[in-house]
Structure 1
Amino acid sequence: MEKSLNIIIVEDEPIICATIETALVKAGHNIVDEADTYEDALDAISDTPPDLVIIDIHLHGQKDGIDLAMELDRINLPYLYLTSQTDPETIDRVKSTNPLGYIVKPFTESGLQSNIELAWFDYTKKSLNSILIKHEGSVVKVLQNDILYLKAFDNYCYIITKDQQYLVPHTLKHMAQQLDEELFLKTHRSYIVNMSYVATIEKKAVEIMGDSIPLSSAHRTSVLDKLSRF
């Protein structure tokens, strides 16, 4: 598998959790956190947004893994079920969610690895190019094609989309590393723009959806060159 995934494991059996972690680390993935309740899982996801969540349906507490899955569907975060529960009632509830897959316990190490690899391959084929950001206590998926521009704000960064403005706790440099280099370009030390939305270029600014974005002399040539390819 080419991509090393950042994974959160949500499992209420410590031995099984350790087995999952061992198998995934061996496959080259990073386990960024573990949780055994719905609430702890949401806290972990908020603290360190993962690429993928592996969810056991049976969890400690009143809410189970399917409740968690519904919340992950709401914020567009991919997940896999890994559970021993295959009764008709559970399966009917699972049908109301959108997992990448459903792995039944007991599982083999190779089976777990191959299921994750195939599920992630299918997900990346279907998924539009997007980034995950933390916004007002939630993890939000933002499609890169919807981003107009980004603006530095001290150690934070504004992400301006067609419909909303997000203030994220990352620098402009950090966010730039997640963006499609074919689509985004820096126009100024404090601004990165989506070149597909540039309407006009003036001597010291570019216009995007009525907003005037600073254009420094150091970036003017590269902006003109990039724009000629759109």
Structure 2
Amino acid sequence: MIDFRNLKVDFLQNPYKILNPLSIYIVEDEALIVSTIETALLKQGYKVLGDADNVVSAIKDIKTLQPDLTLIDIQLDGSQDGIDLALELDKQQLPYVFLTSQTDSETVGRVKKTNPLGYIVKPFTEAGLRSNIELAWHNFESLNAKFLILKSEGRLHKINQNSILYLKAFDNYCYVYTTSKTFLVPHTLKHMAEQLDKDIFVKTHRSYWVNINHIDSVGLNELVLKSEPIPISASQKSLVLSKLKHQ
């Protein structure tokens, strides 16, 4: 049970804290700067999953930890730099923002070959860091408004919502069933439902959200979705039927 008294106190201490904070991974080779960035991010309500000072470690951690967003310094330890890491993340369609002091023409020229969500120049302020991250993530979500961005099996998947059949709760995880593949994502059904297009999705049961465009028939206690039965609760049935009529 949630203790709302503690939640209120916690919110007053940290007004930027949200229930599903953006998870961020830091790639930076200066320990003091890593600490400064981490402190600023935590203060603003973000979740910091870890950090690395080189490309090899970063790629390994990002695959395992699956952050929402990665902050990348260009100058790193080792033979590869942040731009090399960015090119690798581009291949996997994983979002990132450059956080660096390097603004020379050669570096900017190499950066043009990558697809960052933003470019934050050091030194930065806490407010500047937060506003740049929020703007970058807003643009990312806007570009993918008709898509659902899923983290599954160490990769980020961009799924057209029209191709999704239904979502099913599985403890603190959620299954997303599409016309061609099934994904297990590390988020609750409630969290995933917040991202759905409510014009085509409806809650049929406490454990299910269904795409009405794929419903074949509705029975007494269930509906049929591409030959698969899905439970429908009495409290949700009228809403489902109403959506189908206005489809």
The TM-score with structure 2 as length reference comes to 0.74
Deviations 1:207-228 (A, max 9, x none): 44x3333334545444323433
Choose from 54, 58, 71 the match for 2:88. Answer: 71
- 1:134 paired to 2:152: yes
1:164 aligned partner, one-letter code: K
Choose from 158, 167, 191 the match for 1:177. Answer: 191
Identify if the C-alpha distance between structure 1 residues 153 and 24 changes in structure 2 by more than 3 Å, giving closer, same or farther: closer
Choose from 39, 44, 49 the match for 1:22. Answer: 39
Q: Which residue of 2 aligns with 1:215?
A: 231
The alpha carbon displacement at 1:152 in A equals: 6.0
Q: Which residue of 2 aligns with 1:105?
A: 122
The alpha carbon displacement at 1:66 in A equals: 1.7
- Once the two structures are aligned, what percentage of the paired residues are identical? 48
Secondary structure at the aligned position of 1:140 is classed as strand
> 1:23-172 alignment to 2 at 5 Å?
23-128=40-145, 129-135=147-153, 137-151=154-168, 158-166=175-183, 168=184, 170=186
CA distance in 2, matches of 1:5, 1:190: 24
Alpha carbons 2:202, 2:209 under 8 Å: kept: yes
CA distance in 2, matches of 1:47, 1:186: 32
Deviations 1:1-56 (A, max 9, x none): 79642211111111111111122222222212222222322333333332221111
CA distance in 1, matches of 2:58, 2:176: 26
Deviations 1:80-134 (A, max 9, x none): 1011222333222211111111122233333323322332333333332423222
Identify if the C-alpha distance between structure 1 residues 29 and 163 changes in structure 2 by more than 3 Å, giving closer, same or farther: same
Which stretch of structure 1 is more off in the superposition, 211-220 or 31-40? 211-220
Identify if the C-alpha distance between structure 1 residues 106 and 186 changes in structure 2 by more than 3 Å, giving closer, same or farther: closer
Aligned length: 225
RMSD: 3.1
Alpha carbons 2:168, 2:189 under 8 Å: kept: no
Alpha carbons 1:35, 1:41 under 8 Å: kept: yes
Which stretch of structure 1 is more off in the superposition, 149-158 or 30-39? 149-158
2:148 aligned partner, one-letter code: S
